[in-house]
Structure 1
Amino acid sequence: MIQRIQTVFLFLVAVSMVLVLIFPIWQQVNPSQTQMATLTAWNLNTIDVESGDVIESELKIFIAILALVSMALALFSIFQYKNRTRQMFLNMMNSLAMVVNIGIIIWTSHSANELINPQVNGAFVLGFWAIFAGMIMNLLANRFIRKDEMLVRSVDRIR
Structure 2
Amino acid sequence: MIQRIQTIYLLLAAALMATFLFCPIAQFDTPDGLYSFTSQGVSTVMAEPATDGSEATIAQTSVFTATWGVLALGAVITVLSLVAIFLYKNRPNQARVCMINAFFMVTFYIIIFLSGYTFQNDLAATHTSWSAYLVMPFVALVLDILAYRAINKDEQLVRSMDRIR
* TM-score, normalising length: structure 2: 0.85
- The answer to whether the 8 A contact 2:27-2:128 is kept is no
Call closer, same or farther: CA 1:110–1:62 in 2, change over 3 Å.
Answer: same
Q: Which is further off, 9-18 or 34-43? A: 34-43
Call closer, same or farther: CA 1:143–1:64 in 2, change over 3 Å.
Answer: same
Stretches of structure 1 lacking an aligned partner (at least 5 in a row): none
Q: Which amino acid aligns with 1:141?
A: A
Q: Please report how far the alpha carbon of residue 28 of structure 1 lies from its aligned counterpart in structure 2 after TM superposition.
A: 2.5
The aligned residue for residue 70 of structure 1 is 77
1:109-129 CA-partner distances (Å, limit 9, x unpaired): 1112222425x4432331x22
Radius of gyration: which is bigger? Answer: 2
Q: Please report how far the alpha carbon of residue 76 of structure 1 lies from its aligned counterpart in structure 2 after TM superposition.
A: 0.7
The aligned residue for residue 82 of structure 1 is 89
Instruction: Kindly indicate whether residue 25 of structure 2 is the aligned counterpart of residue 25 of structure 1.
Output: yes
Cα distance in 1 for residues equivalent to 2:65 and 2:77: 23
Root mean square deviation, CA, Å: 1.9
Find the residue that maps to 1:38 and give its secondary structure. strand
Call closer, same or farther: CA 1:153–1:16 in 2, change over 3 Å.
Answer: same
Call closer, same or farther: CA 1:3–1:113 in 2, change over 3 Å.
Answer: same
- The answer to whether the 8 A contact 1:35-1:49 is kept is no
Specify which structure has the higher proportion of helix. Answer: 1
Call closer, same or farther: CA 1:7–1:54 in 2, change over 3 Å.
Answer: same
* TM-score, normalising length: structure 1: 0.88
Cα distance in 2 for residues equivalent to 1:158 and 1:16: 43
Cα distance in 2 for residues equivalent to 1:121 and 1:43: 16
Q: Please report how far the alpha carbon of residue 133 of structure 1 lies from its aligned counterpart in structure 2 after TM superposition.
A: 1.1
Q: Please report how far the alpha carbon of residue 135 of structure 1 lies from its aligned counterpart in structure 2 after TM superposition.
A: 0.3
Identity %: 34
Cα distance in 1 for residues equivalent to 2:86 and 2:39: 27
Find the residue that maps to 1:58 and give its secondary structure. strand
Aligned positions, number? 155
1:87-115 CA-partner distances (Å, limit 9, x unpaired): 01101111111111111110111112222
The aligned residue for residue 159 of structure 2 is 153
Find the residue that maps to 1:81 and give its secondary structure. coil
The aligned residue for residue 125 of structure 2 is 117
- The answer to whether the 8 A contact 2:9-2:147 is kept is yes
- The answer to whether the 8 A contact 2:26-2:128 is kept is no
Q: Please report how far the alpha carbon of residue 158 of structure 1 lies from its aligned counterpart in structure 2 after TM superposition.
A: 4.1
- The answer to whether the 8 A contact 2:7-2:147 is kept is yes
Cα distance in 2 for residues equivalent to 1:37 and 1:132: 24
Specify which structure has the higher proportion of strand. Answer: 2
Stretches of structure 2 lacking an aligned partner (at least 5 in a row): 50-58
Q: Please report how far the alpha carbon of residue 55 of structure 1 lies from its aligned counterpart in structure 2 after TM superposition.
A: 6.0
Q: Please report how far the alpha carbon of residue 39 of structure 1 lies from its aligned counterpart in structure 2 after TM superposition.
A: 1.0
